[in-house]
Amino acid sequence: MSATSAEPLPRDTEHRSRTDARHDLFFRMLLRFCALLVLAALLGAALSTLWGGREVLFTDGFHFLLSSDWNPVENQFGALAPIVGTLVTSLIALILAVPVSFGIALFLTEIAPSWMRGPVSSAIELLAGIPSIIYGMWGLFVFVPFMAAIEPTLNDTLGNIPVIGALFQGPPLGLGLLTAGIVLAVMILPFISSVMREVFQTVPARLKESSYALGSTTWEVVWNIVLPYTRSAVIGGIFLGLGRALGETMAVTFVLGNSYNITASLLMPGTSISSSIANEFNEAVGLHRSALIALGFLLFVVTFIVLLIARLMLRQLARKEGR
């Protein structure tokens, strides 16, 4: 070695560069290991719940998904009621939260005077910081009585409309799918509106100004220019909110009423995947516990797919920007 190089390196320098290389390799491996732990967490969550729920999923998978009969005493486990409850409450949440979030994003990017934008958007984002257990308590002690007070009116008005009327007929319990859906809507509102606000700001001023110059109103600019330009990211933001709503536990557990009956009315109590797990897990043994873990696996797979779509949609806009 030393014979070939013109000026041999001093011994300690050579030694040092070799230790440096070794340390670098070690450091790099350590970092990569930590990054892989993130993947392991997701994969582990999927595999462990699959394993924990194997007794139910692999022996009677289809029956588990399609049966509405949930009876721990007789070891009958059909997940239809929690699945329907999760989907219905999340759907209500989306129907309510999407237009409101859009309105907030529109207000904060196009209408509000600039001194107002910072404080108002921070306030809306504070909603995302409130722990979900607080939503649950507020929901149970304040919002449920409020809903019980207005539900007779819902019965008399919306309940009389043909076709969708059946959704709004029922006893004024306050608890139920509609209440849970509204609480969820408030929870996911800040997530959807902050994504919308951020992507609305990425629309090039050129495009908007051209449209204004042609005589468009503010609404026409937003509807014809801003929304089409940001469409994929807006859908991504909505799916992000949906992912949140599907997996939320504490806010809905108190206000759903924990009932395994599937009814047409949104005013009746129901259950959801996450609230079934939270309510029953610590009392469950054997097959019951396995069924609840299997429910967790289902929830994980569904939210994973929804969040995957959300992130892919959000990435499209980033690419468009050339980031």
Q: Does 102 bind another protein (CB under 8 A)?
A: yes
Does 303 bind another protein (CB under 8 A)? Our answer is yes
Member of 64, 200, 229, 254 binding another protein (CB under 8 A): 254
C-beta of 169: minimal distance to another protein in Å?
Answer: 26
- Rounded-to-integer distance, Cα 101 and Cα 104, Å: 5
Cα(84)–Cα(5) distance, integer angstroms = 75
Stretch that binds another protein, among 21-29, 74-82, 162-170, 200-208 (CB under 8 A): 21-29
Residue 194 or residue 265: which is nearer to another protein going by CB?
Answer: 194
Amino acid sitting at position 169: Q
Q: Is 111 in the site for another protein (CB under 8 A)?
A: yes
**In whole angstroms, how close is the CB of 90 to another protein at the nearest point?**
12
Q: Is the distance from CB of 229 to CB of 140 less than 8 angstroms?
A: no
φ/ψ region of 31 (left if φ > 0, alpha if ψ in -120 to 50, else beta) reads alpha
Q: Judged by CB under 8 A, does residue 322 bind another protein?
A: no
Residues 37-56 interacting with another protein (rule: CB under 8 A): 37-39, 41-42, 44-45, 48-49, 51-52
Q: Nearest approach, Cβ of 190 to another protein (angstroms)? A: 8
Q: Supply the DSSP symbol for 10.
A: P
- Identify the residue whose tokens are 């009423």: 257
Using CB under 8 A as the binding rule, whether residue 229 contacts another protein is answered as: no
Distance, CA of 186 to CA of 100 (rounded, Å)? 10
**Window contacting another protein (CB under 8 A); options: 147-155, 162-170, 259-267, 271-279:** 271-279
Q: What gap in Å lies between CA 215 and CA 254, rounded to an integer? A: 51
SS3 state at 88: helix
3 state SS of 147: helix
Cβ of residue 183: shortest distance to another protein, in angstroms?
10
* Interface residue with another protein, options 8, 14, 30, 209 (CB under 8 A): 30
